[in-house]
Amino acid sequence: MPDERNDDVSLAERAFAALEPVEPSAALERRIAAIPILHPLAPSESFWPLGKSWATRWALVGALGLGAVLGSVPLPEDTAGAVEVGGAEVESTEGSAADLPAGQGELSDEDTELDRALAAALGADLGFEQALFEESL
């Protein structure tokens, strides 16, 4: 029985060795070479720059939610420094000008020249605006 089986195996080996080889055609090779071009793969990962793990993602979502809740709480209004002008409350610009570093609150010669040039070009009355500004102080 084993001899018969070996004979069968041997015959099958010879039979398959006698088969003519099959070569893929050039057209098939071209079709297959075009697969990566015709069927580009979708990105495997979605774009998410802030953390890859779910724990990090949930921490970020939690932080954003907390920020939204705290941001909605109204803060006490600071009315000091505000003045009434014609019934409307106007913020004083005195303090903010004083907070600026020396030299930044004042108009330089170049700025003045620029204002004049703009006034000449646009026909604006800067004198009126200057008077209104001084009145508000």
Partner 1 sequence: MPSHPGPERALDAALFQRIARGDALAFRELTTLHLAMIVTYATRILGNAADAEDVAQETFLRVWQKAADYEPRSRARTWLLAIAHNLALDRLRRRKTRREEPVGDDGEDLGPGSEEPNRLLLRKSTALEVRRALDALPERQKMALLLCHEQGLSGAEIAEVLNATPEATESLLARGRRALRTLLAEGNIDQS
Binding site residues, partner 1, CB under 8 A: 5, 7-9, 11-16, 18-25, 27-29, 31-33, 35-37, 39-41, 44
CB 90 within 8 A of CB 83: yes
Least Å distance, CB 42 to partner 1, is 9
Least Å distance, CB 2 to partner 1, is 12
DSSP state of 10: H
Distances (CA, A) of 24 to 18, 31, 64, 68: 19, 11, 59, 64
Least Å distance, CB 28 to partner 1, is 5
> With respect to partner 1, which residue has the nearer C-beta, 44 or 46?
44
> With respect to partner 1, which residue has the nearer C-beta, 17 or 88?
17
> With respect to partner 1, which residue has the nearer C-beta, 28 or 114?
28
Distances (CA, A) of 71 to 63, 68, 79: 12, 5, 20
Least Å distance, CB 56 to partner 1, is 24
Q: Cβ-count burial of 97 within 10 angstroms (0-12 exposed, 13-18 middle, 19+ buried)?
A: exposed
